[in-house]
């Protein structure tokens, strides 16, 4: 289980973030109250993670704004 992430905010597309930590991109869904307080993309962030399993949707989905269907 992931407890926290500290890295570069590589992308923002409500309500999702892409946080790059040592070359690995983590896609994180956040509440809008958190999203609205985040710094601009390219900034360093530290997020505390609370994982909520959602069956097949857990671990990413076709709705990801950072996936183009090629990988």
Question: For position 59, what pLDDT does the model report?
Answer: 54
Record the tokens describing residue 56, joined without a space: 């097949």
pLDDT bin (cut points 50, 70, 90) of residue 71 is very low
Query: Which tops the pLDDT comparison, 26 or 53?
Result: 26
pLDDT bin (cut points 50, 70, 90) of residue 9 is very high
Tens digits of residue pLDDT in 10-37:
999 999 999 999 999 999 999 999 999 9
**What are the structural domains, with CATH classification, of the chain?**
4-54 (2.40.50.140)
Give the 3-state secondary structure of the chain.
CCCEEEEEEEEEECCEEEEEECCEEEEEECCHHHHCCCCCCCCEEEEECCCCCCHHHCCCCCCCCCCCCCC
CB 13 within 8 A of CB 28: no
């Amino acid at each position: 289980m992931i407890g926290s992430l500290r890295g570069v905010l590589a992308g923002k597309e409500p309500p999702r973030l892409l946080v790059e930590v040592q070359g690995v991109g983590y896609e994180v869904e956040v509440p809008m109250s958190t999203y609205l307080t985040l710094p601009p993309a390219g900034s360093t962030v530290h997020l505390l993670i609370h994982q909520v399993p959602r069956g097949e949707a857990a671990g990413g989905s076709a709705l990801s704004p950072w996936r183009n269907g090629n990988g």
